[in-house]
Structure 1
Amino acid sequence: MKGMPYKPAAVWLLCLVVLSACNTGKVTVRKKHLYIQAAGRENKSWQLVWEDNFNSPALDTSKWTLIPPNNADWGRHMTNDPRCYKLDSGKLYLRGMINPDTSKDHRPFLTAGIYSKGKFAFQYGMVEIRARLESARGAWPAIWMLAETDKYGAYPKNGEIDIMEHLNYDSIIYQTTHSWYTLELKQTNNPPHSGTAHFNPGEYNIFGIRWYPDKIVFCLNGKETFTYPYVPGADITQWPYDQPFYLLIDQQLGGSWVGKVQPETLPVQMIIDWVKVYQ
């Protein structure tokens, strides 16, 4: 602008901003803890951008927080009780168990989970989690994702991506998307919002998704199992999946879907080997 004095520091800062904006597509643009995939990147090879191999003696709190209890079916028994989680030999153990002391905590069961809320969220990419699921009556382990911010309003307007849910002693997993479109408008088959996949309970499996601007591809052990697409012309609430989501991994117990817990089948664990996110 005419008459504006020359300020080297300001020019240097402007250059940095311009360079950051001119992403080549080879790397991911990072904004604080939000990993935003560069435009056109979905057509190129995946690059690892975030991971945890759980090799530390304690939970990495720069990446994860223990999920606090809440009023939802899945979160009623969440706790930070150290008996419900541990790291050992490069594995994270999340346990569902009978509460040994209801005088201090009236809940009959205790469960553990972790999430990356406020510490890591990503928009588009591939996530893989290698884990082993134990079975029990009323056990409901889950690996899933929620939106980092309320871009479209309160839940379920921002959507939910369930990478994996397992019930009781089933030999299948459920892979699902939820949103205002599926829950409130009841559009569960236009397109189908959920699929199942057979697996070997008790063995390590790799659960994941490949998330693109126009579809979410669910996977099991690297094989595609179910796809939820963006539908042009559908209600706007059909596709809230255009924003950063964070990860949740939890060993849940009981609820209206999984049914009642049989205490004699506890404790039960989900054992996580590693988590990897690519863009």
Structure 2
Amino acid sequence: MPLTTIKQIVFLPLVLLLLATACSRPFTRSAGYVYLQKDGRTEKKWKLVWKDDFNAPILDTSKWTRIPPGKSDWNRHMSTHDDCFRLDSGYIYLRGIRNPDTTADPRPFITGGIYTKGKFAFQYGKIEIRAKLECATGAWPAMWMLAEQNKYGAYPKNGEIDIMEHLNFEHKVYQTTHSYYTLDLKQTQKPPHSGTAPFNRDGFNTFGIKWTPHKIVFTVNGKETFTYPRITGVDASQWPYDQPFYLLIDQQLGGSWVGKVDPQQLPVQMIVDWVKLYQ
């Protein structure tokens, strides 16, 4: 048999397999890292398309970046210092600690957080994060999402999705959407933009959302806890959630909402087991 024919026989099944795999995917990709859920997937079975189980000895920098400090309440104490991060036995520990070197950095305490900005984003799907939240006065662990692209303008016009926020020693978590509609137009009840849910304060919990073109359903341990729907007859800024978002997971400390930090209760940690995206 001619060599050309043999190559064709071997190559053709491979091409067909690759085409079949691409067609069966529930997403398309944009810019190589943005997972866009295909139309008509809402009622179909979820497929796992992206995950990190933190089994590697170091942070996977193809997926995550350590969050740098900023000037807002949430990132005022963020740091890339190694003491704020630990990977061990399949967990990542995001730590709020007393600053070990106030000569180089005058802040009294520093905290660790990671985000996927510029490395992983998605539009629609189900994302779940399994983690344990430690408690302390002034502790404010959060899992949340911001727009990857600047579709509508400066914050808050592109919206924010808070999968989970926890304050101090409370036995509940907060699940919220923020946007120009809720913050600037003050439309927080048409529809309600926030809810709370109980959780196991002493163990691991799974926090998540199921996000479609029509609603965002918040969950805790697989149970639906709060829904933010897209509605008609209101200002268009009510639904900026028609674009890709990236993920932030951070152990925040202090601020106008959570209150002052008690340094005597540090360190405090958010211990993350895994992150999974389904579409």
Q: TM-score if structure 2 supplies the norm length?
A: 0.91
Matched, 1:267 2:267: yes
1:64-111: per-residue Cα shift (whole Å, max 9, x none)? Answer: 000000111010111111111010000000000111221110011100
Distance 1:208 1:94 in 2: 18
Deviation at 1:184, TM superposition (A): 0.2
Q: Which amino acid in structure 1 is aligned with residue 94 of structure 2?
A: L
Q: State the SS of the aligned residue for 2:176.
A: strand
Distance 1:42 1:30 in 2: 18
Q: State the SS of the aligned residue for 2:101.
A: coil
Deviation at 1:27, TM superposition (A): 2.5
Partner of 1:150: 150
Following superposition of structure 1 onto structure 2, how do residues 236-251 of structure 1 map, counting pairs within 5 Å?
236-251=236-251
Partner of 2:74: 74
1:218-254: per-residue Cα shift (whole Å, max 9, x none)? Answer: 0000000000000112101000000000000000000
Q: State the SS of the aligned residue for 1:45.
A: coil
Matched, 1:84 2:84: yes
Following superposition of structure 1 onto structure 2, how do residues 1-279 of structure 1 map, counting pairs within 5 Å?
26-31=25-30, 32-279=32-279
Runs of 4+ in 1 over 6 A off after TM superposition: none
Contact 1:58 1:87 in 2 (8 A): yes
- The aligned length equals 260
Q: Which amino acid in structure 2 is aligned with residue 205 of structure 1?
A: N
Deviation at 1:42, TM superposition (A): 1.2
Deviation at 1:25, TM superposition (A): 6.8
Partner of 2:3: none
Contact 1:34 1:122 in 2 (8 A): yes
Contact 1:146 1:247 in 2 (8 A): yes
Deviation at 1:26, TM superposition (A): 4.7
Deviation at 1:24, TM superposition (A): 5.1
Q: State the SS of the aligned residue for 1:75.
A: coil
1:23-76: per-residue Cα shift (whole Å, max 9, x none)? Answer: 857521112111001010111110111000000010000000000001110101
Distance 2:85 2:187 in 1: 38
Distance 2:235 2:42 in 1: 25
Distance 2:148 2:156 in 1: 13
Contact 1:26 1:41 in 2 (8 A): no
Structure 1 unmatched runs, 5+: 1-18
Q: State the SS of the aligned residue for 2:39.
A: coil
Distance 2:249 2:26 in 1: 27
Q: State the SS of the aligned residue for 2:205.
A: strand
Q: State the SS of the aligned residue for 1:43.
A: coil
